[in-house]
Amino acid sequence: MHKILRGSALFIIFISLFSCGEFVGMEDDKVDTGKVQKLEIFLPGDNLGHFYSTMTLDTQFSCSVIFDEWHGDGTIKIRGDTSRIRANKKSFTLKIKGKKFMLERGEENGGLYNRIAMRAYQLAGLPACDTESVGLFLNDEYLGCYNLITYYDENEMGGELYKCYFVDYDHIENNHPIYSLSKKKFPDDDNFVNMSNLLVALTTFSDEKWRQFVLENVDVEKMASYLAVHDFFTVNDTSCSNYYLYYDGKYKLLPWDHEQCLSEKRNNYMPCDDNQLVRRLATVPEVKAAYNDKMQKLFTGGGTECILNQLQTEVATMFDNLATAMESDPKFATSRQDFMKIKTYVLNYLDKNTGRAAEVDKLILH
């Protein structure tokens, strides 16, 4: 359990010690975030000083939050060892009104690659995370543009959510728990039976027995949609993380943290080849057929399932809205000129006639 720190006069001294440190940005009245909404977080003065100093502590701090229709109390912490220790611009985890959010600092693209991928999954019918670009203020100091990501929510989804590393199966013969490297995100219990059943089937069943298991226990259509979007966007860092295993009576994969996508180096990209589960799913004829069907309908077809036209329109708006806010960002990772070059690249990538869609034949499974 994380410790929640409340006001204590002892830490007021940290305000003067760290007020010109890494978190200081621009004053609120000097910032134009344009159409990007402001997210304002306030910590009591003593907590603010301590918050600045806890670079290596996984500690939550009480805060109040103003954003859109929200106005209430919550908690905030610096997210991840990279952010706490090495990153020039920090990422945060925010909890308010029973919901959990990530404030992702973004890279040269301002977190838009992740936003674009999540929106594509949503348009393909998957319950991917909601995302939004925000201008983050901490005690009236502008920290810059962030990607606000809503975590998967047990109250809304039900079922079971696992952060599952499929390399776990290497340990089965050594009698280690097959969930040794994995975590159950919800519900909060130690019952890993459904994840274990999948891993046992994956690693021990014959081809025909595996096929029957998949047809009976995997949501083939949703899995095919996930795999098609994943491969179309050349996501390249899901060999052992950046996805979730979701079980609600049927197994599905759900996306997470797709900042590494939309690659310029996609000529040698191998479809359905990122981890052991995906590779074996692709051997099942029904999954292969559903994947090929989704790849064509989502990205090359002329029907209502094709998502590229709507996605292009939304992506252009994402970039245009963020372009104003980034100019006031004290630590945005690229210039406006380079940012607009990224916009052009992404819109070309999504072009139905000349972009990635023209290469779909390379992604079809045979």
The burial of 301, by beta-carbon neighbours within 10 Å (0-12 exposed, 13-18 middle, 19 or more buried), is given as middle
Residue 86 clears pLDDT 80, i.e. is over it: no
CA distance 130 to 27: 29
Residue 26 clears pLDDT 80, i.e. is over it: no
DSSP 30-47: G---TTSEEEEEE--HHH
**CB-CB neighbours of 193 under 10 Å:** 10
Q: How confident is the model at residue 8 (pLDDT cuts 50, 70, 90)?
A: very low
Q: How confident is the model at residue 31 (pLDDT cuts 50, 70, 90)?
A: confident
Q: How confident is the model at residue 89 (pLDDT cuts 50, 70, 90)?
A: confident
Residue 156 neighbours by CB under 8 Å, 6+ apart: none
**49 close to 23: Cβ distance less than 8 angstroms:** no
Summarised one tens digit per residue, pLDDT across range 141-185 is: 999 999 999 999 999 999 999 998 776 555 555 545 566 678 899
**Four-residue CA torsion sign, 334, 353, 274, 100:** positive
Instruction: Note the pTM of the prediction, 2 decimals.
Output: 0.88
146 phi/psi in degrees, rounded to 5: -135, 160
Residue 127 neighbours by CB under 8 Å, 6+ apart: 152, 157, 254
pLDDT of residue 20: 36
pLDDT of residue 81: 61
pLDDT of residue 17: 30
Residue 189 neighbours by CB under 8 Å, 6+ apart: none
> Helix, strand, or coil here: 82?
helix
Better-predicted residue by pLDDT, 316 or 83: 316
DSSP 288-350: HHHHHHHHHHHHT-SSTT--HHHHHHHHHHHHHHHHHHHTT-TT-SS-HHHHHHHHHHHHHHT
